[in-house]
């Protein structure tokens, strides 16, 4: 099979590799499509702890072409999407229902070879069947939707809330749509790219701000008078992390969803957190939300097709990574079958 391999940081090669052999509890997927995530770029640059060489890709869908002798939850021919996050189910956090915080968390495409390949081996328990009404391109988006579901679950969005979304990339747009489904009364989106602002309007934002031109803090306070009920940071930048706390109302909630580098430090006033009695939440991966993501996608409650702006074959994986980091892309897919 053909696979995209990162043999070491900042190097990508296309290799011919043997199709993986299965264990008793594994399934082999013919990969249909795999999303390019910011994590893949971090892995490529050596900014994420992995053991090289690695086949990246953790947002993918495909068809089951072989199953291990102990597999009963899927059959050959099933169309599936993959929850890449593998937990031990026995550690302190797993036994308390916080499986995403597992002390031994590993992931397909991070610790094990992933979906940037024609075929991928995954534990059968990580494969979720998808209904016929759901295309495999849509199913490849189940993992990011599942992660966003976990975020919105903790963001305290309720009917009538004013929500500010900082950054309208693919994740910001999905979270924006989920906030609308959760009953947000008014959504303000801040995004410098005009195409993404247009998508934000399609996904439910009533007010669109351009941070390159607008004073976002002043505009939010002008619109809301007291600040937003919920602020969702999706840009993964220090300045927006700091801004989020400044524009949340007293008693409001800030959801830090964007990924800022682990060595970076924001200038945040502990007094402001105290005085405003803020709730600041993080959101990490997708505990128990993958099947809900499939249901939302199948019901067309979250339409991810407008987010898919680029599609590349395996041979153009380097271009796919580059495009995903550019301004023109919302979501980039790698499709091994073309």
Q: How far is CA 202 from the centre of its chain?
A: 20
Predicted local distance difference test score (pLDDT) of residue 337: 82
Among residues 193, 191, 209, 202, the alpha carbon closest in space to that of 304 is found at 202
Q: How many helices (H) and strands (E) does the chain have?
A: 10, 17
Residue 85: the pLDDT is 98
Q: Which of 49, 321, 205 is nearest to 332 (CA)?
A: 321
Q: Classify 2-146+286-334 by CATH class.
A: alpha beta
pLDDT digits (tens, 9 = 90+) for 7-42: 999 999 999 999 999 999 999 999 999 999 999 999
Residue 151 has pLDDT above 90, yes or no: yes
Confidence tier at 96 by pLDDT (50, 70, 90): very high
Average pLDDT of 153-164? 97
Q: Across residues 206-229, what is the average pLDDT?
A: 98
Residue 2 has pLDDT above 80, yes or no: yes
Task: State the average pLDDT for the chain.
Answer: 97
pLDDT at 224 over 90: yes
Q: Which of the four pLDDT bands, split at 50, 70 and 90, describes residue 200?
A: very high
**Residue 140: which of 149, 130, 132 has the closest Cα?**
130
* Least confident piece of the model among 44-53, 177-186, 229-238: 44-53
DSSP β-ladder status, 331-334 and 228-233: unpaired
State how far the alpha carbon of 174 is from the alpha carbons of 55, 182, 215, 296, 330, in Å: 26, 12, 24, 11, 11
Does residue 47 register a pLDDT over 80?
A: yes
Q: Which element (helix H / strand E) includes 176?
A: helix 170-181
Query: How many Cα atoms sit within 13 Å of 69 on the Cβ side?
Result: 2
% of the chain surpassing 70 pLDDT: 100
- Compute the distance between CA of residue 61 and CA of residue 56 in angstroms, rounded to an integer: 14
Task: State residue 37's pLDDT score.
Answer: 95
**Is pLDDT at 338 greater than 80 in this prediction?**
no
Q: Report the SS3 class of residue 34.
A: strand
Tokens matching residue 276: 């405003």
The full 3-state SS of 261-322, as one line of letters, equals CCCCCCCCCHHHHHHHCCEEEECCCCCCCHHHHHHHHHCCCCCCHHHEEEEECHHHHHHHHH
285-323 burial: b if 16+ Cβ within 10 Å, else e: bbbebbebbbebbbeeebebeebbbbebebebbeebbeb
Closest CA to 235 of 36, 34, 38: 38
pLDDT attached to residue 262:
87
pLDDT interval class at 261 (50, 70, 90): confident
pLDDT computed for residue 70 by the predictor? 98
**In sequence order, what are the beta bridge partners of 330?**
none
According to the model, what pLDDT value does residue 324 have? 97
Picking from 44, 31, 9, 52, the residue whose alpha carbon sits closest to that of residue 321 is: 44
Percent of all residues in the chain with a pLDDT value above 90, rounded to a whole number:
97
Tokens, residue 150: 């976990």
Query: CATH 3.40.50.720 occupies which residues in the chain?
Result: 155-282
- The answer to whether 175 and 257 have CB atoms below 8 angstroms apart is yes
Task: Give the Å distances, CA to CA, from 42 to 37, 230, 287.
Answer: 9, 28, 22
Average confidence (pLDDT) over 154-170: 97
* Candidate CATH numbers 3.40.50.2000, 3.40.50.720, 3.90.650.10, 3.90.1150.10; the one for domain 155-282: 3.40.50.720
Where b means 16+ CB within 10 Å and e means fewer, 27-56 reads: bbbbbbbbbbbbbbbbbbeeebebeeebbb
- Residue 8's pLDDT is 97
Q: What pTM does this model have?
A: 0.97
């Amino acid at each position: 099979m053909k696979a995209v391999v990162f043999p070491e940081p900042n190097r990508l090669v296309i290799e011919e590799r043997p199709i993986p052999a299965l264990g008793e509890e594994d399934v082999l997927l013919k990969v249909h499509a795999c999303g390019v995530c910011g994590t893949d770029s971090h892995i490529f640059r050596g900014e994420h702890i992995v053991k090289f060489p690695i086949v990246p890709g953790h947002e993918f869908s495909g068809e089951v072409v072989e199953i291990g002798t102990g597999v009963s939850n899927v059959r050959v021919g099933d169309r599936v999407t993959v929850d890449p996050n593998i937990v031990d189910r026995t550690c302190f956090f797993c036994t308390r229902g916080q499986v995403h915080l597992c002390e031994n968390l590993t992931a397909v495409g991070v610790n094990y070879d992933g979906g940037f390949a024609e075929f991928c081996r995954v534990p059968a328990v990580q494969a979720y069947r998808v209904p016929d009404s759901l295309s495999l391109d849509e199913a490849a988006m189940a993992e990011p939707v599942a992660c966003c579901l976990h975020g919105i679950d903790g963001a305290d969005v309720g009917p009538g809330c004013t929500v500010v979304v900082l950054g309208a990339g693919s994740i910001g747009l999905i979270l924006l749509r989920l906030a609308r489904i959760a009953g947000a009364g008014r959504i303000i989106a801040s995004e410098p790219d005009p195409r993404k602002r247009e998508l934000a309007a399609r996904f439910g934002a009533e007010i669109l701000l351009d941070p390159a031109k607008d004073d976002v803090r002043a505009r939010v306070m002008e619109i809301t008078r007291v600040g937003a009920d919920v602020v969702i940071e999706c840009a993964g930048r220090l300045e927006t992390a700091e801004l989020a706390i400044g524009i949340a109302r007293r008693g409001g909630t800030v959801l830090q969803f964007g990924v800022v580098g682990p060595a970076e430090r924001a200038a945040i006033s502990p007094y402001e957190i105290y005085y405003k009695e803020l709730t600041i939440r993080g959101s990490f991966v997708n505990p128990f939300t993958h099947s809900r993501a499939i249901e939302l996608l199948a019901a067309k409650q979250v339409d991810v097709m407008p987010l898919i702006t680029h599609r590349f074959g395996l041979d153009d994986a380097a271009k796919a990574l580059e495009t995903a980091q550019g301004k023109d892309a919302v979501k980039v897919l790698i499709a091994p079958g073309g």
